């Protein structure tokens, strides 16, 4: 599997921002846990994983926009986060399932690199192809997770994942256009939405394995 490279300072998919249909309002970056939330330890751990996901994604976008060599290190840390999420799932669904989720999540990251490369080259056809693969990958993740846990409806997961793609595209476009207000607002929305995804995953695991979570 290839790793993130050639971060560059190229424009990151202005066209893709228009192609994403999901949208959300900017909200406060921190989403508080319910006072009596089930599985508090799992919830905290899952939120940490998804916080890392969006924070390291942002760090990569910032570094790539500047053409900074630190983008490579950020990308490696971001790929490790996908392994961490897969390992967390493996505790409940087994190592093969964890490895499969890691593979799908790494594809999610690496397809984004193809989007950057296509935008740098001004290749609209490759850019559109990569954007389609990005959304196809989200559908694969939703199908995989919903097949593992009946408490994770596929359409609900797909809606959340597509919203994540739309917000991330908005963040990258704002950063590369130097629209700092929209850049910050987009990340606020991304962080809150990531905590919502983390909580949805936690709730599903807690319902499916009530004696295994704490």
Specify the DSSP element, H or E, that contains 103: helix 95-121
Buried-state track 82-91, b at ≥16 Cβ within 10 A, e below 16: beebbebbbe
Mean pLDDT throughout 122-136? 85
* Pick from 91, 86, 119: nearest CA to 8: 119
For residue range 63-117, list pLDDT tens digits in order: 888 888 998 899 999 999 999 999 999 999 999 999 999 999 999 999 877 776 6
Domain ranges of the chain: 38-204
Mean pLDDT of 26-39: 52
Picking from 209, 206, 164, 173, the residue whose alpha carbon sits closest to that of residue 42 is 206
Model pTM score: 0.81
DSSP code of residue 80: H
Q: Residue 7 — very low, low, confident or very high, per pLDDT cuts 50/70/90?
A: very low
**pLDDT of amino acid 91:** 95
Give the residue from 151, 148, 152 showing the smallest Cα distance to 161. 152
Rounded distance between C-alpha atoms, residue 194 and residue 137, angstroms: 18
Q: Does the structure show a pLDDT above 90 at 3?
A: no
Least confident among 3-7, 8-12, 40-44, 46-50:
8-12
Q: Give the pLDDT band (50/70/90) at residue 2.
A: very low
């Amino acid at each position: 599997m290839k790793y993130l490279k050639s971060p560059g300072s190229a424009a990151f998919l202005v066209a893709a921002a228009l192609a994403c249909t999901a949208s959300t309002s900017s909200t406060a970056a921190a989403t508080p846990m319910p006072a009596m939330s089930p599985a508090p330890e799992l919830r905290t751990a899952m939120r940490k994983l998804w916080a890392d996901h969006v924070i390291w994604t942002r760090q990569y976008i910032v570094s790539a926009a500047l053409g900074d060599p630190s983008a490579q290190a950020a990308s490696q840390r971001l790929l490790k986060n996908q392994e961490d999420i897969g390992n967390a799932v493996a505790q409940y669904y087994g190592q093969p399932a964890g490895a499969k989720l890691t593979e799908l999540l790494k594809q999610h990251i690496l397809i984004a690199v193809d989007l950057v490369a296509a935008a740098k080259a001004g290749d609209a056809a490759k850019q559109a192809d990569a954007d389609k693969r990005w959304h196809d990958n989200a559908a694969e993740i939703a199908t995989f997770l919903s097949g593992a846990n009946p408490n994770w409806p596929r359409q609900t997961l797909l809606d959340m994942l597509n919203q994540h793609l739309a917000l991330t595209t908005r963040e990258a476009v704002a950063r590369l256009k130097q629209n700092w207000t929209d850049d910050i607002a987009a990340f606020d929305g991304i962080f809150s939405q990531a905590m919502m995804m983390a909580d949805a995953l936690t709730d599903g695991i807690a319902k499916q394995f009530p004696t295994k979570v704490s």
